[in-house]
Structure 1
């Protein structure tokens, strides 16, 4: 169960984060219009370094890879997409920098990562999304995930989407 380190789509390159990416990634994670999940935008570069180190550890410990998403035409880091151990064994997450949103890049990155999961024998894959995040829900549904259940935590309802048995 090993995910390839580099994925390519029509418009994107996906590769593992390194600490060399910290400045570009921090610009994304510190943007309050982009980073609206979890505890919100990062305020210190040390948070971004820790985020990258956590993703490297998840890959080492669980075989779950997180990718830097770069636009091919410009080689600009426009977001991230990958797997982590969250509320479910393999949970997909994705974030595209605000200036690049609305162009289908998240859907393209998610499709590439889910295809890689199928090839690596990883599944089922979950996406856990707050109901107000309609854009993320549409991305998950476009990628073939289906709503499996609704739960709540201290911050409110969570929609659990999962890949179908045929897709894993």
Structure 2
């Protein structure tokens, strides 16, 4: 019997939740997103520093160009609330597995936006037939761990580059 493998191909869509709209990334978002991402505390667990508008424009061009690998897709959205950009969500899709991440600017944290945006992305990916959804989270980042648990991910015992793997698959 032949082995069947497939790669999911996603079409960008606006994803709407109760309060948010996840808008497909555009280079033009860089000006506003540089402001949203300007607080150095956002990089406590991930490293790095706030990006300039120029650095974000270059990053967004690379992200929109994609990985150049047929087996992988980069999907990126900015998070809009009440007409303002407040963060982003993203998914790297390889085969039927999607690795997701989310960032909400500090001015909008503590209001459930990260959970709502991540849940919107998770639900959309499931509707696109993603079989496994994963995230990597620093062990001290309790807010992101709470978001991951709330959307249905479970922490596994696997750690890579100082971050735990959270997954929809049964924990190891």
Distance 1:101 1:120 in 2: 28
**Moved runs in structure 1, 4+ residues, more than 4 A?**
none
CA drift at 1:43: 4.3
CA drift at 1:130: 0.7
Answering whether residue 106 of structure 2 is matched by residue 98 of structure 1, we say yes
CA drift at 1:159: 0.8
Which residue of structure 1 aligns with residue 159 of structure 2? 151
Change (3 A) 1:4 1:152: closer
**Structure 1, unaligned runs of 5 or more:** none
Which residue of structure 2 aligns with residue 42 of structure 1? 50
1:1-168 equivalence runs, <5 A? 1=8, 2-58=10-66, 62-71=72-81, 74-84=82-92, 90-153=98-161, 157-164=162-169
Three-state SS of the structure 2 residue aligned to 1:65 is strand
Aligned residues: 158
- CA deviations on 1:56-91 (whole Å, 9 max, x unpaired) are 1338853341111000xx2100000120269xx531
**Structure 2, unaligned runs of 5 or more:** 1-7
With the length of structure 1 as denominator, give the TM-score of the two structures: 0.83
Contact kept in structure 2, 1:29 and 1:35, CA below 8 Å: no
| Larger Cα-atom Rg | 2
Structure (1 or 2) with the greater helix fraction:
1
With the length of structure 2 as denominator, give the TM-score of the two structures: 0.81
Contact kept in structure 2, 1:144 and 1:164, CA below 8 Å: no
